[in-house]
Chain A
């Protein structure tokens, strides 16, 4: 009779092996944690009827556009004020002739004028569980297509491992799993594995390991077709690749983060992108908006008044004022101290406690889709060099040319360093590093642009950096309105760097405004 283990013991064991997310998943499976029910994700702003309420939205980022869209439908008078020449904020797709308005390094995108020759300089991936974003894509008629985030045929490269030779991701993963499971299988067989398992469990686990690592019936890893064949497989028998040396696999940096990247909460397949460029999401809003969106109109002053907010912006050299019942503001919080205001000191201190993040992408137009000849269709190659990632476009398969991402930099130090280079210098180093993965890379490059979000005009940062302490102390303070002023955007969410964060924040604001206006109406009704 096998010993029965309590579910708690079982969970502890999984926790030790698989970390807390494994426990969480298993707990849901065992019915210990009720599955989360989603609150109705879409804003519902009550129609005003004959009443008048005015709202001024500062910044035509996605959160600003969503607010204007919802409020005007409910009968509010909205005006959106945007400093830049373009609408959409960080949601930006670059095509032929577009201006990259970087501080000190204005660039013009010189891609060919072709519908597939673009790259998403801001958001690229749409996760399948970002409900609000997907709701808007659906209702605003923004067609989506699948976006390849992980490609097992792409390369993984570490200058200090395998003599700096790139490896196929599938080969690396297959061999890493094979060796790992073989070791575990041996441990079980030798019974020096102190698993709190019955014999039956142990047998099942052995079979699990075999399946996971593609081991033979003795539990030995002999190589796997998962790694890709060495040769053959169609008209002659397939020849397996000789497995890599396990020590070399361990020396490679791929296993640290990159190997598990596509398992992340927001990175798992399948992901989506808007057909023709993610700024079609922005276009979805603007096409459906009746309220004016005034561009080239930097806000100069935000003054809280009794039951109103006074905003001054400059348009075509003239200062204009809007006095509105509510002000919804997605201007990056680090730029707000540079705008005249009468905010209380603690509100400003709260804004200052959140640091600005850095993020950079480099787009390269390639004369040929050479990666397709290497069986690469979409996805990401990884390297330990400063460019970090190379992306292959999911769209335009088998076209003559393609725009690929020559760098996607997350490292803070590299981002600061690259921002100090001229765009020409950035391209040169990106090409040099790319050629470590694709020999002769440079000969395909026709033109390129770099987008350093921490140097972009009216942005000067990306992905608000909340320390744990700042979160504790200030998050609610910033989420709460100050008088009739609301700060919003992905910066006021737990999902900075994601459109869903921006839209969630917008919906929080819409709910709050709606409740206040409805309460006012009730108050008026009782007074009457």
Chain B
């Protein structure tokens, strides 16, 4: 018994000194998710940089007006509505948005505003030159550098995870996204993906987007 006690106290001292030394050195700035929104970074990654292993895109490059609209779209059943079966990965996100009230959405946007922008890793290697040609029609809305255009409601594309962009383009093509009545912005995108008609077009155009930096 005595032995255990002695051990306990030395451990405790060691722990205290470890804590003291840890507070002494500067802790690098990492923007932590606010209480109540910690679950967002479990999937989207610390500072919202995305995590392919759970299919969650990079939110750090997105503007708050676009994030807000997507959260509302999920909530209102315009994107991956409960019960639908054609956008199963979207359905992984949908209940998260559905659980947010107005106040939490404000808090999400404040958090998203504060995290530093980080471009996602490039994983797709399509034909950039062909992608550039295809992209000319996209640029009208998303901007020549893929920077997005709020007045046209078109989000930023540059720096976004390429596998996620590709999946969205497929979703628009199949109608898994953008086909719900009332999704006016999604409907525009559905019309725009019609031109990506060759099998590899999505590869090429996304690879070109990978080369853009606003």
Contact = CB atoms under 8 A, between A and B. Distances in A.
Given A77-B18, A319-B32, A320-B22, A334 B54 contact: yes
B181 interface: no
B96 A460 contact: no
A355 to B, nearest CB: 9
Interface in B35-66: 35, 38-39, 41-47, 49-54, 56
B96 A104 contact: yes
A104 B22 contact: no
Q: How many A residues are at the interface, by size bracket?
A: 35 or more
Nearest to B30: A300
Given A103-B39, A104-B99, A420-B91, A338 B28 contact: no
Contacts of B96: 103-104
Contacts of A460: 42-43, 54
Contacts of B27: 312, 319-321
A356 B82 CA distance: 23
Interface stretch (B7-15, B146-154, B206-214): B7-15
B98 interface: yes
Contact of B30 (A319, A338, A416): A319
Contacts of B49: 338
Interface in B194-210: none
Interface of A is mostly: mixed
A291 B11 contact: yes
Given A338-B51, A352-B53, A458 B15 contact: no
A52 interface: yes
Interface string A100-113: 00011110000000
A178 interface: no
A301 B43 CA distance: 15
Which of under 10, 10 to 19, 20 to 34, or 35 or more describes the interface residues of B?
A: 35 or more
A338 B55 CA distance: 11
A340 B46 contact: yes
Interface string B55-93: 010000000000000000000000000100000100100
A322 B15 contact: no
A338 B44 contact: yes
Given A335-B42, A460-B43, A290 B11 contact: yes
Dominant SS among interface residues on chain B: helix
Contacts of A75: 7, 10
B2 interface: no
A290 to B, nearest CB: 5
A339 interface: yes
Nearest to A301: B30
Of the listed residues A75, A83, A290, the one surrounded by the most CB atoms of chain B closer than 10 A to its CB is A290
Interface in A312-349: 312, 314, 317, 319-323, 333-335, 337-340
Nearest to B35: A317
Interface string A182-201: 00000000000000000000
B36 to A, nearest CB: 11
Contact of A77 (B14, B28, B88, B94): B14
Contact of A314 (B14, B18, B32, B56): B32
B15 A301 contact: no
B95 interface: yes
A356 B53 contact: yes
A104 B95 contact: yes
Contact of A416 (B8, B39, B42, B88): B88
B30 A458 contact: no
A506 interface: no
A298 interface: yes
Kindly name the residue among A72, A75, A300, A458 whose own CB sees the greatest number of chain B CB atoms within 10 A. A300
B22 A321 contact: yes
Interface string A268-297: 000000000000000000000011100000
Contacts of A72: 7, 11
Contacts of A290: 7-8, 11-12
Given A290-B12, A298-B38, A337 B45 contact: yes
A351 B53 contact: yes
Given A290-B12, A335-B42, A457-B42, A105 B30 contact: no
Contacts of A340: 30, 46-47
A54 interface: yes
Given A104-B95, A314-B32, A292 B46 contact: no
A73 B4 CA distance: 9
A86 to B, nearest CB: 14
A433 interface: no
A298 B11 CA distance: 24
B22 A323 contact: yes
Nearest to B93: A104
A381 interface: no
A104 B54 contact: no
B62 to A, nearest CB: 17
Interface in A136-163: none
Interface in A53-97: 54, 72-73, 75, 77, 79, 83
A280 to B, nearest CB: 21
A352 B52 contact: yes
A350 to B, nearest CB: 12
A156 B117 CA distance: 56
Contacts of B29: 319
A356 B39 CA distance: 18
A337 B53 contact: yes
12 contacts: A54-B18, A75-B10, A79-B15, A79-B18, A83-B42, A103-B95, A300-B32, A321-B25, A333-B53, A335-B54, A340-B30, A457-B42
